[in-house]
Amino acid sequence: MKTRRLGTLDVSALGLGCMGMSVNYGPSPERADLIAFARAAFDRGVTLFDTAQVYGPFTNEDLVGEALEPLRDQVVISTKFGFDIDPADPRRRAISSRPELIRSSTEESLRRLRTDHIDLLYQHRVDPNVPIEDVAGTVRDLIDEGKVLHFGLSEAGADTIRRAHAVQPVSAVQNEYSLWARDPEPEVLPTCEALGIGFVPWSPLGQGFLTGAVSATATFGDDDIRSRFPRFTPEALVANQPIIDLVNEVAVGANATAAQVALAWLLSRGESVVPIPGTRKLHRLEENLAAADVALSADDLRRLDEATAGFGVAGARGSGHEHYG
């Protein structure tokens, strides 16, 4: 696996988004199978594993911690703080980055992850009630204490990134980015490039849409988060079908799959772009990782770029409430 750099942090060119191993996409496989799967990802060259306190909540960090404990010195674990979760009812949560909560959340993450340090700690969502300077300062203190090595932001806007970076250098920004979610391009990506910050696209395959496996007539159960996402309504799936039609067309010419084309396009956006596609199936993992070796032609890249830049995607991205803080 080729490597890339997030700030000063070396990682595999493609990481593994671990959220779906525990939540949001229907029943999970057996825990032993998921642990074996995470270790198989490492065997195939993945060194960046992405989780978060809120995934579960808590269960995904615990799973990742057990899976990677024997490999701890050879992998990069990223996790996130930023939610105040009711211990009596974990479904109740509110955005919060109060300094004392950042500290307690980090201690709990360290315990669940079975480690004495977090390689990359993100603010999961920007808290409008806490100055970003206070957030960055708290993470700076955790870095000084050796509990955290690198600082990241998720779903942050350009101004927030610059303000945080002035207090504590930001290694990575993790925002949604794909062929049907190009929101970071006007301001966030140029800011990251100017400041030497890596960029980690979450949902690089559009919650599965860009794999071509989601038909225009697809339906989703209540335990699948896409049943509540605006881009997966029946009307939106039909309206957005031209995107995947084009990706499939390019894939045929490139002797690749649709997923590989979508990931190769992202990898072409810059040497510090590191997508983290999520899966829990070994054949999908191997398909995704092979995207690092897919060379799209200049004409392929131009067609994808022009067509998706000018396409009015139906439905708000993510949960429908995503916005840069």
Question: In CATH terms, is domain 3-205+270-293 a member of 3.20.20.100?
Answer: yes
- Which band of pLDDT confidence, cut at 50, 70 and 90, is reported for residue 37? very high
Q: Is there a contact between 148 and 117 (Cβ–Cβ < 8 Å)?
A: yes
Decide if pLDDT at 35 tops 90. yes
Annotated catalytic residue within 55, 122, 177, 324: 55
- Which band of pLDDT confidence, cut at 50, 70 and 90, is reported for residue 33? very high
Tokens matching residue 317: 């991205």
Decide if pLDDT at 127 tops 90. yes
Burial class of 103 by CB neighbour count within 10 A (0 to 12, 13 to 18, 19+): middle
Give the per-residue pLDDT at 206: 97
Fill in the DSSP letter of residue 112.
Answer: H
Tokens matching residue 236: 């939106």
Q: Where are the domains of the chain?
A: 3-205+270-293
- How far is 324 from 322, CA to CA, in rounded Å? 7
Tell me the pLDDT tens digit for each residue of 157-214.
Answer: 999 999 999 999 999 999 999 999 999 999 999 999 999 999 999 999 999 999 999 9
Q: Given the DSSP bridges, would you call strands 93-95 and 118-123 parallel, antiparallel or unpaired?
A: unpaired
Q: Is there a contact between 83 and 94 (Cβ–Cβ < 8 Å)?
A: yes
- How far is 117 from 114, CA to CA, in rounded Å? 9
- How far is 51 from 82, CA to CA, in rounded Å? 13
Evaluate the CA torsion angle 186, 189, 191, 193 in order and state its sign: negative
Give the per-residue pLDDT at 91: 83
Give the per-residue pLDDT at 210: 98
- How far is 81 from 109, CA to CA, in rounded Å? 9
Percent of the chain with pLDDT strictly greater than 70 = 100
Q: What is the mean pLDDT of residues 114-140?
A: 98
Tokens matching residue 149: 């090595």
Give the per-residue pLDDT at 87: 83
State yes or no: is 55 an active-site residue.
Answer: yes
Give the per-residue pLDDT at 88: 84
H or E segment to which residue 81 belongs: strand 76-81
- How far is 42 from 77, CA to CA, in rounded Å? 12
- Which band of pLDDT confidence, cut at 50, 70 and 90, is reported for residue 293? very high
